[in-house]
Amino acid sequence: MKKPKIVILGAGYGGLMTATRLQKQIGANDAEIILVNKNDYHYETTWLHEASAGTLHHDRVRYDISKVIDNGKVEFVKGTAVEIKTDEKKVLLEKGELEYDYLVVALGGESETFGIKGLKEYAFSISNINSARQIREHIEYQFATYNTEEVKDDTRLSIVVGGAGFTGIEFLGELGNRIPELCKEYDVPFEKVKIVCVEAAPMVLPGFDPELVEYAVAHLEKKGVQFRIGTAIKEGTPDGIIVAKGEDDVEEIKAGTVIWAAGIRGNAIIEKSGFEAMRGRIKVDENLRAPGHDNIFVIGDSSLVINEEINRPYPPTAQIAMQQGELVAKNIAALIQNKELGSFTFDNKGTVCSLGEDDAIGVVFGKKVVGKKASFMKKMVDNRALLMIGGASLVAKKGKFNVL
Ligand SMILES: Cc1cc2nc3c(=O)[nH]c(=O)nc-3n(C[C@H](O)[C@H](O)[C@H](O)COP(=O)(O)OP(=O)(O)OC[C@H]3O[C@@H](n4cnc5c(N)ncnc54)[C@H](O)[C@@H]3O)c2cc1C
């Protein structure tokens, strides 16, 4: 009998978790497992703010996919998916195509600019290894150029971060450490550098405990970050951004670097392939399947799961993507073995937001933590993701070990 073919698209947190769990749960004779990813490496998306600021080398953030999969059970295909043809049970790749019996869509998310003019053209986004390298190198270029130009343009040294959510704040924390280093490396006076965080919502880190938010803001302000809260970015321009506080209160902030970190939507393939989606994310059923498609599971940033307690979607996180990956592996094994499928319940173990190398805020198992202790916990969370996907040897190679 023909073996069922399982195709997993994306080797991020969700996809790799699915593949590494499936390889343990299914025998090589029971199914063919194919993992497709753009690159032959996995990157830790949750560490990209460090690579972007230049506080962590980009090679520390990635590892070879072949090192964590059982190559006897999972076939890796380096390729870019462009469309899913659900009626033909096929995935079109940039080069070639793949048929599937079961499909796992784990392609992550994309930056959402909410149609704000000029942001796609002029702002950077922290999306993958290459965009992180581009941001780091762009900032360094601005510092180096400032020093060599005869007529100094101070706005080169201005960095605007759009969004005071998780990504924006973690990036600002790293910048707080990196800027003094850059000033020293490029002989630039620290007082010439301006870091501005613009947030349309009335608060920093919406949804976080207010006491922790106050701690984070005070910490970042001490490092030179200026917050413009309740202020919306109206436009990105070649010279910076246009912001507005009210209808008439319009202002230009000139900046050599603008990073947009305020929105995420599902992978473009979702809408291109005709799935019903909200901001490119598919509202999955309790078994994590796309409605109307019993053989297609969707996980991670391309999926949407409602938190019934507040009737709003859970924010897309690595934590939820990995838990979804674990369940999808079980559910596919169950389908193949004619067993009952499991339902998804998010087990929120807490959230820690880093504020640079040795500071952070968070709520872990219901308890508030700040400072070095929180920073230590953040590193443990990072190590746990490595452990769950690649075991102790991956932690030994890539883990973060700075102690309290
Ligand atoms: C700076 C930053 C900090 C964050 N910090 C945290 C945190 O502390 N805690 C937390 O829980 N979450 C955090 N997040 C969110 C978290 O990183 C995401 O929710 C998580 O990565 C989603 O996992 P995923 O498996 O859906 O996608 P990803 O991990 O992004 O993986 C998607 C994979 O699909 C591949 N891919 C994409 N398109 C294609 C294609 N067309 N063809 C083939 N392959 C493709 C990509 O190369 C990638 O390997 C952070 C995000 C950022 C940007």
Closest residue CA from atom 27 of ligand 1: 108
Whole-angstrom distance, CA of residue 163 vs CA of residue 169: 8
Whole-angstrom distance, CA of residue 357 vs CA of residue 158: 22
Q: What are φ and ψ of residue 118, in 5° steps? A: 80, -10
- In sequence order, which residues have a C-beta less than 8 Å from that of residue 129 and are 6 or more positions away? 39, 41, 43, 48, 51, 58, 61, 62
Nearest to 161 by CA among 303, 17, 53: 53
Closest residue CA from atom 42 of ligand 1: 80
Task: For 21-70, write each residue's pLDDT tens digit.
Answer: 999 999 888 999 999 999 999 999 999 999 999 999 999 999 999 999 99
Residue 73 predicted with pLDDT over 90: yes
Whole-angstrom distance, CA of residue 232 vs CA of residue 228: 9
Q: Which CATH number fits domain 5-109+266-348: 1.20.5.440, 3.10.105.10, 3.50.50.100, 3.10.180.10?
A: 3.50.50.100
Predicted confidence band at 279 (pLDDT cuts at 50, 70, 90)?
very high
Q: Are 174 and 49 in contact (CB under 8 A)?
A: yes
In this structure, is the dihedral angle defined by the CA atoms of residues 79, 82, 88 and 89, taken in order, positive or negative? positive
Atom of ligand 1 nearest to the CA of 45: 17
pTM (predicted TM-score): 0.96
Domain 119-262 is classified in which CATH homologous superfamily? FAD/NAD(P)-binding domain (3.50.50.60)
The pLDDT of residue 4 is: 96
Q: What's the token pair of residue 220?
A: 């970042």
Whole-angstrom distance, CA of residue 12 vs CA of residue 300: 9
Closest residue CA from atom 6 of ligand 1: 46
Residue spans per domain, the chain: 5-109+266-348, 119-262, 349-404
In this structure, is the dihedral angle defined by the CA atoms of residues 174, 179, 180 and 182, taken in order, positive or negative? positive
Distance from the alpha carbon of residue 82 to the mean position of ligand 1, in angstroms? 18
The pLDDT of residue 402 is: 67
Distance from the alpha carbon of residue 108 to the mean position of ligand 1, in angstroms? 5
DSSP three-state, residue 318: helix
ipTM over 0.95 threshold: yes
Q: For ligand 1, pick from 43, 48, 107 the residue to mutate: most ligand atoms within 8 Å of CB.
A: 107
What sections of 5-47 are H helices per DSSP? 13-25
Element (H, E) at 92: strand 90-93
Residues present in the chain in total: 404
Closest residue CA from atom 52 of ligand 1: 46
Q: Are 202 and 227 in contact (CB under 8 A)?
A: no
Q: What is the 3-state secondary structure (H, E, C) of 240-272?
A: EEEEECCCCCEEEEECCEEEECCCEEECHHHHH
Q: Are 286 and 343 in contact (CB under 8 A)?
A: yes
Q: What are φ and ψ of residue 227, in 5° steps? A: -100, 135
Strand-strand pairing, 194-199 and 240-244: unpaired
Q: Name the catalytic one among 44, 110, 170, 326.
A: 170
Closest residue CA from atom 38 of ligand 1: 107
Distance from the alpha carbon of residue 155 to the mean position of ligand 1, in angstroms? 32
DSSP three-state, residue 307: strand
Distance from the alpha carbon of residue 295 to the mean position of ligand 1, in angstroms? 23
Q: What are φ and ψ of residue 169, in 5° steps? A: -70, -40
Task: For 350-382, write each residue's pLDDT tens digit.
Answer: 999 999 989 999 999 889 999 999 999 999 999
Span 187-208, mean pLDDT? 95
For the purposes of burial, counting CB atoms within 10 Å of the CB of 246, is it exposed (0-12), middle (13-18) or buried (19 or more)? exposed
Around ligand 1, the residues with Cβ closer than 6 Å are 10-15, 36-39, 42, 45-46, 48-49, 80-81, 106-108, 126, 166-167, 170, 267, 269, 300-301, 316-319, 321
Residue 186 predicted with pLDDT over 60: yes
For the purposes of burial, counting CB atoms within 10 Å of the CB of 278, is it exposed (0-12), middle (13-18) or buried (19 or more)? exposed
Span 313-335, mean pLDDT? 97
Q: Are 81 and 39 in contact (CB under 8 A)?
A: no
Closest residue CA from atom 3 of ligand 1: 46
The pLDDT of residue 276 is: 95
Q: Are 109 and 316 in contact (CB under 8 A)?
A: yes
The pLDDT of residue 247 is: 75
Distance from the alpha carbon of residue 391 to the mean position of ligand 1, in angstroms? 20
Catalytic, 170? Answer yes
Q: Do domains 5-109+266-348 and 119-262 have the same CATH topology?
A: yes
Whole-angstrom distance, CA of residue 177 vs CA of residue 199: 22
Distance from the alpha carbon of residue 47 to the mean position of ligand 1, in angstroms? 10
Distance from the alpha carbon of residue 251 to the mean position of ligand 1, in angstroms? 34
Q: Are 55 and 357 in contact (CB under 8 A)?
A: yes
The pLDDT of residue 282 is: 98
Q: For ligand 1, pick from 9, 13, 43, 45 the residue to mutate: most ligand atoms within 8 Å of CB.
A: 45
Q: Are 320 and 16 in contact (CB under 8 A)?
A: no
